[in-house]
Amino acid sequence: MKMTSNRIRVAVIGAGAAGLCSARNLLSRPHAFQPPVVFERSLQVGGTWVYSEEPETESHQHSSMYRDLRTNLPKEIMEFPDYSFDPSLPSFIHRSEVLRYLEEYTENFHVRPHIRFNCNVIAVSPVSEDGVGDRVRWDVTSHIWENPHPVTERFDAVMVCAGHYSQPYVPDIPGIDTFQGKLLHSHVYRYPESFTSRSVVLLGCGPSGIDIAIELAQHAKQVTLCHHGPPIRWTPPKGLSLAPPVVRATPDSLICEDGTQLEADTLIFCTGYKYCYPFLESKMDPRSLKDTEELVRVTLPNSLSRSGLLLETQNGHDACNDQLKEGMLAKDTIVIPDEGQGHLPPLYKHLIHARYPTLVFIGACKIVVPFPHVHCQALFFLAVLEGKCPLPSVEQMLSESYKELMDHMSVGLPLKYLHRLAKDQWDYNQWLSKTAGFKPLPPVLRKIYDKCSEFRNTSPIIYRSLKFEILSSEEFRVNSTDAQI
Ligand code: FAD
């Protein structure tokens, strides 16, 4: 995909971990790339790791960080392969240490001069005369918050590093509008003291749900963690009880799946986040298809044939199907309905826009070790741009991403898990490095990750007392300061 002009001009959207890593690696290849332009809507680097107690405004979108957060991964595996955390720190560090690390990374690799702070990207559009395929260039439109006049600039490629943990996903619960208590999402949770003497129900048992429930149990009058999925393998601390998911609400209580009625004055949704890329030009965005407001789900017929994909609409008619006849689906857009959780365009290898392969989404995968993972994704894409790693044709990439969607759905997995890698992340990272020819991640990362997950699942209250030490690319040692481990 090597560009015809001398050096490739790349826009990076976001100066969180993914954007910083992308910019650092672009800067280290001056023969191939111009210095990147990094657009950052806030006033500082770090994205998720910037803690703020300021309320949100249009120009200030705070991250989902809470005051006392300590990492749920040990720093030994969290770090980028080319830059280490301070070795004197414990394995599980306070959020402020991660921000410090990202700030130091920024300085160390001289990324800061290339970041435009306070600069919000509002549109990313393919340049029409370039057509479809691996040569498409981009118009990126941005504005400084105080200045209403947007500026449009042209780039050869765009790396979207805008994160996906800041737009709360809130499930629909019948009766919730009548509930008199306080409703909030973990996105706005900051510290437990503000819940003293409250009866709190948390819905959702991901890392934030568990952490916040454990924090609150020491302060609130009563805390209930509602969850579905596999039974919890740990004993809740004093003050915390477990219950099935909330399925209905009345003015003064929350009703669980098994009929249990919870008297509560606060419900915290720990139900995750939506993908949200408001700057993608309308024709890039499946939602722009006529009547797509009504899309609710894709139904999969018995045969997984491409033409058999049906789009159902909320009120039963199939207004969109005309636009989604066979051929159009593969050529233009694959609609991935969002189940209310946002969506991504069809992606090749969870990364590259299958139709417009000069556009990538770095860090869009879920359940990964983010920093090493985005490092691999960024290096892969740069190798593609440099012409060192040819991609399949647009047709092939579209059909692979389509097949992935079909396979995913055929085993009954919710669409929100389409880019969830979990244990597959290691093979995925390995594939990226092998295909693009860069140094793979050492196997010890996976071993530590597995060990850490095991401890976290059984001892979420004390696993952070573990101290990991990497001995070689294959081996590690682990100690604990807590006698219970
Ligand atoms: P972000 O950090 O979200 O950065 C995106 C950046 O893009 C932001 O600075 C944003 O301002 C900017 N941006 C967005 N839109 C625009 C626009 N239109 N124009 C310009 N700029 C824009 N990971 C771990 O490794 N270990 C952990 O322990 C851990 N704990 C976590 C706890 C919580 C509560 C959360 C929410 C996440 C946690 N993560 C953890 C995951 C964490 O999000 C990743 O580690 C990583 O920081 C994600 O980086 P990112 O660059 O992809 O996104």
End-to-end CA distance of the chain: 52
> For ligand 1, is residue 23 a contact (CB within 6 Å)?
no
Of the listed ranges 85-99, 291-305, 336-350, the one predicted with least confidence:
291-305
Of 199 and 297, the one with more pLDDT? 199
pLDDT at 286: 42
State the DSSP H helix or E strand holding residue 373, giving kind and residue range, or none if neither: helix 370-385
Between helices 95-108 and 17-27, what is the axis angle to 10°?
A: 20
**Which of 72-81, 90-99, 133-142 shows the lowest mean pLDDT across its residues?**
133-142
Cβ of 20 closer than 6 Å to ligand 1, yes or no, is no
Q: Is the CB of 42 under 6 A from ligand 1?
A: yes
Mean pLDDT of the chain: 86
Q: List the residue whose alpha carbon is closest to atom 38 of ligand 1.
A: 48
Q: H or E stretch including 457?
A: helix 443-458
Q: Pick the more confident residue, 195 or 333.
A: 195
Pairing of strands 151-155, 138-144: antiparallel
Residue 279 Cα distances to 15, 64, 160, 286, 387, angstroms: 16, 21, 10, 13, 28
Q: How far is the CA of 17 from the centre of ligand 1 (A)?
A: 7
Q: What helix, strand, coil percent values describe the chain, rounded to 5?
A: 30, 20, 50
Ligand 1 centroid to Cα of residue 161, in Å, is 9
- H-helix or E-strand containing 329? helix 328-331
What residues contact residue 360 under an 8 Å CB cut-off, 6+ apart?
157, 158, 159, 160, 351, 352, 353, 377, 381
Span from the CA of 272 to the centroid of ligand 1 (angstroms): 13
**pLDDT at position 192, please?**
97
* Cα(378)–Cα(229) distance, integer angstroms: 34
What number is the average pLDDT over the span 179-185? 96
C-beta of 64 in contact with ligand 1 (< 6 A): yes
CA distance 104 to 297: 45
Ligand 1 neighbour 120 (Cβ under 6 A): yes
- For residue 307, the model assigns a pLDDT of 30
Q: Give 73's Cβ-side CA count (13 Å radius).
A: 19
Q: Is 40 in the pocket of ligand 1 (CB under 6 A)?
A: yes
Residue 471: both structure tokens together: 């001995």
13 lines ligand 1 (CB under 6 A): yes
The answer to whether the CB of 377 is under 6 A from ligand 1 is no
164: CA distance to ligand 1 center in Å? 7
Residue 25 has pLDDT above 80, yes or no: yes
User: pLDDT tens across 353-375, in order?
Assistant: 988 899 999 999 999 999 999 99
Mean pLDDT, residues 185-203 taken together = 96
* Predicted pLDDT at 339: 56
**Token digits for 423?**
């244990």
Q: Per-residue pLDDT tens for 277-315?
A: 888 855 444 433 333 332 323 333 333 333 333 333 333
Strand partners for 115? 38
Residue 146 is predicted with a pLDDT of: 86
Q: Which residues contact 454 (CB under 8 A, 6 or more apart)?
A: none
Q: Closest ligand 1 atom, CA of 208?
A: 34
Q: Is the pLDDT of residue 131 over 70?
A: no
Q: Is-above-0.80 flag for pTM?
A: yes
Predicted complex ipTM exceeds 0.95:
yes
Residue 333 has pLDDT above 60, yes or no: no
pLDDT average, residue stretch 126-143: 80
| CB of 71 sitting under 6 A from ligand 1 | yes
